Structure 1
Amino acid sequence: MPTKWKASAMGLVLVVIVGALLSGPLMSNVEHPQYVVTEKYKSIELREYAPRIIAQVSMSGTREEAISAGFQQLADYIFGNNITSEVMSAEQRAGEDQISTSKKIAMTAPVEQNQVNGTWAINFTMPSEYTLKTLPKPNNTAVILSALPSQTFITIQFSGRSSIENISTHESKLKAFVIKNNIKIQDDPIYAFYNPPWTLPILRRNEVMFKVDKN
């Protein structure tokens, strides 16, 4: 291979590597649910989450199949498959009080997934600027908007791929910590994924979360 071709190829490889290194953090630089860390032990945190609104779908199949299909439906909703009513100006009304339009909603992170009665619930947290009244309504009836109260979670953060093995390893670590410290938890674990799939595994932020029973 001519020297100049080698240089060009090496330059292209370098661009791809740098792009991969930067794309994950940049693409994940979006709004996250608001929370306060009240206790921390290495990668484990006790968090107090503020009230929030989620868009959720229920999917069957394997965990991987469910999150892929669920993500597509939720992305379809926030990218404009929705209806919002905007009050028209007096000059525009011409006898009509409102006009229905669609609206794009900003992407947030993470994508959350948990198992409920044998099916997988997949959700996005909606941007904090919205209320249930101001959020566009989904055209897809499978997408459900819900308001969540303030909640307490115990979480463990880890990098790497979202494989069953990686998730199970950290879920077991979190369960051991919960048992050792006599923390009461509710429900099944929630899995949270913060990065797009092309992010290098070492740069990914994944979490396993359990809701804490404060009663």
Structure 2
Amino acid sequence: MFDWSVITQNLDLLGWGLLVTLRYTVITCLLGLVIGLVIALAQLSPLRVTRVAGMLFVEFFRNVPLLVWLLWSYYALPIFAGIRISREAAGILALSLYGAAYYAEILRAGIQALDHGQGDAAKALGMSPLQAMYRIILPQAFRQMIPPLAGQTIIQMKNTTLLSVITIPDLLYQASYISSFTYRPMEVYTAVGIIFLIILVPSNYLARRLELRNH
């Protein structure tokens, strides 16, 4: 029989796990956006070496599973690079770089979709390419990029569930811990699923509304 008391008795652990999940989502999304913008601009650079470097970054991180990056960041960096890294730093590093590869493609496509005449007009006004990008191109392109950026942010939150493999006490890790002493995995993981539905269903709905508004 389904026993909801398992959930009510451990709400503090689940609540703490949710806060950890949200914290990592916010941090890695912000870092991913910043790094992704740099990579997107690198791919649009007139310099071939910069374009290739940006392309390699995207291919490198998009084609290796996130789980591998998490384990490699935490266990392999100290071995191969001699870098001592905490599990928190490893989680942020792997998630941010992985997310940046996807954000970069969204940002690059959004910038390229903008009318090239905007850049020509900025140049006619005496702006440098960098000034034109930040003052003219990015503000206009960003409106079109909001829906896919929102979608990728939702995916990023779901990706945080992998943090449990390096013992970061996120929502899934706490669920596993509760299951280990209550022996009630069905109730615990059902609660986790409900929590994600409560957060992500409205988020998906908002992303779709934004997409329709921009069409």
TM-score by length of 2: 0.31
Return the TM-score normalized by structure 1: 0.31
- Higher RCO (C-alpha 8 Å, min separation 6): 2
